[in-house]
Amino acid sequence: MNEIVLASPAKINLFLEIIRRRPDGFHEIESIMQLVDLCDEVRLRRRRGGIRLQVSGAELPEDRGNLAYRAAALALEAAGLSEGLEIRLVKRIPVAGGLGGGSSNAAAVLLGVGRLFGLRWPQATLRRLASRLGSDVPFFLGDGLAVARGRGEVLTPLPPWPPRWLVLANPGVAVSTAWAYGEASSKLTGWKGRVTLPTLTAGGPLDWPPVWAFNRLEEVVLPHRPELVALKGLLQEGGGMPVLMSGSGASVFAVVPDAGAARVLAARVRESGAFAAAVTTLPANPLVGAGPCGRKFRE
């Protein structure tokens, strides 16, 4: 095999609470993360030596400043390979939007290198490498829905829903994750009590629609981002319920009842000048061969 193409999906945080700041500088969190079928395309090809990265669809570094590049370097080094890798990355997931696009791309590269070079890495090895790249990367190696604890790398899979419709929206501004968590650190002692995770089922799935959805970082980010407040209001006026920021922003998602409502609301948001896409939740992860990403080559 000389080339492989992978669909690299986005995620949303249906729940995100910050527990404390850890001694290592990271934050202890509790989150529920869900894959959605808005996907980047990651194309990997063998080359004689070195790593070459080409990115289209977004202005991103094409060197070690890109997480996909670092994932390739780590994977080749871990495998003891002298061959190189060409990566062509087509971005459709908004950058710095709280949707995990960079982490998903890194996971795609790890998995792709394994398949391209016929490696038989156990899951534990993949997760160890993923954890070295970023807190969210291990999630993209597993199922479509999971509870994340620790700094995000301690995962407990949850029973999936059938595909459920959402609208993803982004106002075209970036929010620094490091800044958002830094701001949260200064407020931890002032927050009275913590929101606990929804009951994690006694064998059944979580309720849908997720009226229990929550994101602590909204308290940090929204006062500084009026564009996000306006975008949330537009989604709510259009019938979204609930409407929530994903991760540290700047993307938000709205739960809607069906495909028709999703397409109408997404079109309304695009008319305002913001990015919007009608998507569904993914019951399984296309990166691990468990199902296709319906939006792989759309838009």
Q: What pTM does this model have? A: 0.93
Give the model's pLDDT for residue 193: 62
Catalytic residue among 11, 91, 232, 296: 11
Only one residue has tokens 């992978």, namely 6
Alpha-carbon span 31 to 14, nearest angstrom: 7
Query: Is 187 in the active site?
Result: no
Instruction: Pull the structure tokens for residue 274.
Output: 């913001």
For 231, the enclosing helix (H) or strand (E) is helix 226-237
Contact between 87 and 53 (Cβ < 8 Å): yes
Q: What is the pLDDT of residues 80-108, one digit of tens each?
A: 999 999 999 999 999 989 999 999 999 99
Within a 10 A sphere around the Cβ of 169, how many other Cβ atoms? 29
For the beta sheet containing 252-255, the strands, ordered from the edge strand earlier in sequence to the opposite edge, are 243-245, 252-255, 165-170, 275-280
Given a cut of 70, whether residue 157 has pLDDT beyond it is: yes
Same CATH topology for 3-159 and 165-280: the answer is no
Residue 174's pLDDT is 85
Summarize pLDDT for 59-80 with one digit per residue, the tens.
999 999 999 999 999 999 999 9
**pLDDT given at position 297:** 38
Active site residue 143: no
Fold of 165-280: Alpha-Beta Plaits (3.30.70)
Ordered by start, the domain boundaries in the chain are 3-159, 165-280
Instruction: Tell me the pLDDT tens digit for each residue of 104-153.
Output: 999 999 999 999 999 999 999 999 999 999 999 999 999 899 999 998 88
Alpha helix (H) residue ranges in 36-167 = 67-79, 101-116, 123-133
pLDDT value of position 291: 63
Pick the CATH number of 3-159 from 1.20.1740.10, 3.30.230.10, 3.40.50.300, 3.60.150.10: 3.30.230.10
Residue 261 has pLDDT above 60, yes or no: yes
Q: What is the arithmetic mean of pLDDT over 223-247?
A: 96
Q: CA 205, CA 32: separation in Å to the nearest integer?
A: 13
- Asked if the model's pLDDT at residue 273 lies above 90, the reply is yes
37, 40, 136, 143: the active-site residue = 136
What is the rounded radius of gyration, in angstroms, for the C-alpha atoms of the chain?
19
- Cβ 180 vs Cβ 16: under 8 Å: no
Mean pLDDT score of the chain, rounded to an integer?
Answer: 90
Of the pLDDT bands very low, low, confident and very high (cuts 50, 70, 90), residue 234 is very high
Task: Quote the pLDDT of residue 45.
Answer: 97
Q: What is the pLDDT of residue 271?
A: 97
Q: Are 68 and 95 in contact (CB under 8 A)?
A: no
CA distance 8 to 43: 10
